[in-house]
Chain A
Amino acid sequence: MSLDAGSETRTVDFAADDVPQWRSILSWPAAPSIIFLVVATLGVGMVTDGFLTIANLRSILEQAVLISIVALAVNQVILSGEIDVSTGSLLAVCAFVFGNTANVVGGAWLPLLAALAAGGTVGLLNGFLSTYGRVPSIITTLGMLFILRGAVLLGGGAQVLNMAPESRIFGQGMIAGIPVTILIAACLFLVMEIVSRHIIWARNAIAIGGNESAARTLGLPIRKTRLIAFVLSGLCCGLAAAVFLGQIGQLQATAATGFELKVIAAVVLGGTSIRGGKGSNVSPVVGAVLVGVILNAMTLNRVPGTYELLVLGSLILGAVSFEGVRQKLLTRGH
Chain B
Amino acid sequence: MSLVERRPVCALRNVSKRFGSISACQDISIELFAGEAVALAGENGAGKSTTAKCLYGFHSPTTGHVEVDGREMTFRSPRDGEAAGIVMIPQELDLFPELSIVENMFMGQQRPRTRFGTFDWRAMKKTAREILARLGLRLDVSQPVHLLSAANCKLIEIARALNRNARVIIMDEPTAALTDREVRRLLSIVRDLKKNGVAIVYITHRLDEIFDVCDRIVVLRDGSLVDDGPVSDFTEGSLVKKMVGRPLESLFTHSPHPIGDVALEVVGLTSEPAFRDISFQVRKGEILGISGLIGAGRSELANALFGLRAYAAGTIAVNERRVRINSVADAFRLGIAYLPEERRSQGLILPFSIQHNITLASLKRFTRLGIVSERGEADFARKAATDFTVSGARIDAAVSVLSGGNQQKVLIAKTLARNPEIIILDEPTRGVDVGAKSEIYRIIDDLARRGCAVILISSELNEVLAMSDRILVMREGVAVRTFERSEFSPEAIGAAAAGQKVLSNVA
Q: Which residues of A contact B (CB under 8 A)?
A: 1-8, 10-12, 14-17, 19, 23-24, 27, 194, 197-198, 200, 203-204, 206-207, 210-211, 213-215, 217-220, 273, 277-278, 331, 334
Quick one: which of A2, A11, A16, A214 contacts B196, CB cutoff 8 A? A2
| CB <8 Å contact, A14 and B99 | no
Q: Could you say which of A19, A194, A218, A331 has the most chain B C-beta atoms within 10 Å of its C-beta?
A: A218
| CB <8 Å contact, B144 and A218 | no
Question: Restricting to B180-199, which residues have a CB under 8 Å from any CB of A?
Answer: 181-182, 184-185, 188, 192-193, 196-198
Quick one: which of B90, B137, B147 contacts A217, CB cutoff 8 A? B90
Given contacts A12-B181, A16-B139, A218-B79, contact A1 B196 (CB under 8 A): yes
**Roughly how many angstroms separate A197 CA and B96 CA in the complex, as a whole number?**
16
| CB <8 Å contact, A213 and B98 | no
Provide the residues of chain A in CB contact with B97, threshold 8 Å: 210-211, 277
Provide the residues of chain B in CB contact with A206, threshold 8 Å: 96, 98-99
B435 within 8 A of A: no
| CB <8 Å contact, A11 and B188 | yes
B82 within 8 A of A: yes
Provide the residues of chain B in CB contact with A217, threshold 8 Å: 58, 78, 88, 90, 94
Q: Which residue of A lies closest to B182 (CB)?
A: A14
B393 within 8 A of A: no
| CB <8 Å contact, B134 and A17 | no
| CB <8 Å contact, B137 and A16 | yes
**Roughly how many angstroms separate A3 CA and B198 CA in the complex, as a whole number?**
10
Quick one: which of B147, B162, B167 contacts A17, CB cutoff 8 A? B147
Provide the residues of chain A in CB contact with B193, threshold 8 Å: 3
Quick one: which of B94, B107, B152, B182 contacts A203, CB cutoff 8 A? B107
Quick one: which of B94, B98, B197 contacts A277, CB cutoff 8 A? B98
| CB <8 Å contact, B134 and A5 | yes
**Roughly how many angstroms separate A215 CA and B99 CA in the complex, as a whole number?**
13
Provide the residues of chain A in CB contact with B196, threshold 8 Å: 1-4
| CB <8 Å contact, A218 and B108 | yes
Q: Which residue of B lies closest to A6 (CB)?
A: B133
| CB <8 Å contact, B119 and A210 | no
B146 within 8 A of A: yes
| CB <8 Å contact, B98 and A203 | no
B140 within 8 A of A: yes
Task: Known pairs A17-B143, A194-B118, A331-B146; list 16 more (Cβ under 8 Å).
Answer: A3-B135, A3-B192, A3-B193, A4-B196, A12-B188, A27-B147, A203-B107, A204-B108, A207-B96, A207-B107, A214-B96, A215-B108, A217-B90, A218-B78, A219-B80, A219-B82
**Roughly how many angstroms separate A139 CA and B331 CA in the complex, as a whole number?**
38
Q: What are 14 A-B interface contacts by the 8 Å CB criterion?
A: A3-B135, A4-B196, A6-B133, A10-B185, A11-B184, A12-B182, A14-B152, A14-B185, A17-B152, A24-B147, A207-B103, A219-B57, A219-B77, A334-B149
Q: Which residue of A lies closest to B83 (CB)?
A: A219
Given contacts A3-B196, A194-B118, contact A219 B96 (CB under 8 A): no
Quick one: which of B137, B140, B151, B198 contacts A19, CB cutoff 8 A? B140
Q: Could you say which of A24, A206, A210 has the most chain B C-beta atoms within 10 Å of its C-beta?
A: A210
Interface SS of chain B: loop
Provide the residues of chain A in CB contact with B6, threshold 8 Å: none
Q: Which residue of A lies closest to B114 (CB)?
A: A198
Q: Which residues of B contact A (CB under 8 A)?
A: 57-58, 77-80, 82, 88, 90, 92, 94-99, 103, 107-108, 111, 117-119, 121, 130, 133-140, 143-144, 146-149, 151-152, 155, 162, 165, 167, 181-182, 184-185, 188, 192-193, 196-198
| CB <8 Å contact, A10 and B198 | no
**Roughly how many angstroms separate A218 CA and B89 CA in the complex, as a whole number?**
10
Given contacts A2-B196, A211-B96, contact A197 B118 (CB under 8 A): yes
Q: Which residue of A lies closest to B142 (CB)?
A: A24
Q: Which residue of A lies closest to B103 (CB)?
A: A203
Provide the residues of chain B in CB contact with A24, threshold 8 Å: 143, 147
Q: Which residue of B lies closest to A15 (CB)?
A: B149
Provide the residues of chain B in CB contact with A11, threshold 8 Å: 184, 188
Given contacts A14-B137, A14-B152, A17-B152, contact A219 B98 (CB under 8 A): no
Provide the residues of chain B in CB contact with A10, threshold 8 Å: 136, 185, 188
| CB <8 Å contact, A3 and B162 | yes
**Roughly how many angstroms separate A15 CA and B148 CA in the complex, as a whole number?**
10
Quick one: which of A1, A200, A213 contacts B94, CB cutoff 8 A? A213
Quick one: which of B118, B146, B147 contacts A198, CB cutoff 8 A? B118
Quick one: which of B57, B144, B181, B192 contacts A27, CB cutoff 8 A? B144
Given contacts A219-B78, A331-B146, contact A211 B162 (CB under 8 A): no
The smallest C-beta distance from B445 to any residue of chain A, in angstroms, reads 39
| CB <8 Å contact, A17 and B118 | no
> What 3 A-B pairs come out closest when comparing CB atoms?
A219-B79, A218-B108, A214-B94
Provide the residues of chain B in CB contact with A14, threshold 8 Å: 136-137, 151-152, 155, 182, 185
Provide the residues of chain B in CB contact with A278, threshold 8 Å: 98
**Roughly how many angstroms separate A209 CA and B237 CA in the complex, as a whole number?**
46
Provide the residues of chain A in CB contact with B182, threshold 8 Å: 12, 14
Q: Which residue of A lies closest to B88 (CB)?
A: A217
Quick one: which of A1, A16, A200, A220 contacts B165, CB cutoff 8 A? A1
The smallest C-beta distance from B487 to any residue of chain A, in angstroms, reads 35
| CB <8 Å contact, A220 and B119 | no
Q: Which residue of A lies closest to B137 (CB)?
A: A14
**Roughly how many angstroms separate A198 CA and B107 CA in the complex, as a whole number?**
13
The smallest C-beta distance from A250 to any residue of chain B, in angstroms, reads 42
Q: Which residue of A lies closest to B151 (CB)?
A: A14
**Roughly how many angstroms separate A167 CA and B82 CA in the complex, as a whole number?**
53
| CB <8 Å contact, B108 and A220 | yes
| CB <8 Å contact, B185 and A12 | yes
Quick one: which of A1, A12, A198, A273 contacts B198, CB cutoff 8 A? A1
Provide the residues of chain B in CB contact with A204, threshold 8 Å: 107-108
**Roughly how many angstroms separate A10 CA and B82 CA in the complex, as a whole number?**
29
| CB <8 Å contact, B130 and A218 | no
**Roughly how many angstroms separate A269 CA and B148 CA in the complex, as a whole number?**
27
**Roughly how many angstroms separate A331 CA and B165 CA in the complex, as a whole number?**
33
The smallest C-beta distance from A82 to any residue of chain B, in angstroms, reads 16
Provide the residues of chain A in CB contact with B155, threshold 8 Å: 14
The smallest C-beta distance from B363 to any residue of chain A, in angstroms, reads 30
Provide the residues of chain B in CB contact with A220, threshold 8 Å: 107-108
| CB <8 Å contact, B147 and A23 | yes
Provide the residues of chain A in CB contact with B79, threshold 8 Å: 218-219
Provide the residues of chain A in CB contact with B184, threshold 8 Å: 11-12
Provide the residues of chain A in CB contact with B197, threshold 8 Å: 1
Provide the residues of chain A in CB contact with B149, threshold 8 Å: 15, 17, 334
**Roughly how many angstroms separate A131 CA and B147 CA in the complex, as a whole number?**
32
Provide the residues of chain B in CB contact with A3, threshold 8 Å: 134-135, 162, 192-193, 196
Q: Which residue of A lies closest to B198 (CB)?
A: A1
**Roughly how many angstroms separate A131 CA and B97 CA in the complex, as a whole number?**
23
| CB <8 Å contact, A198 and B139 | no
**Roughly how many angstroms separate A24 CA and B82 CA in the complex, as a whole number?**
32
| CB <8 Å contact, A197 and B82 | no
Given contacts A3-B193, A27-B144, A334-B147, contact A198 B117 (CB under 8 A): yes
Q: Which residue of A lies closest to B77 (CB)?
A: A219
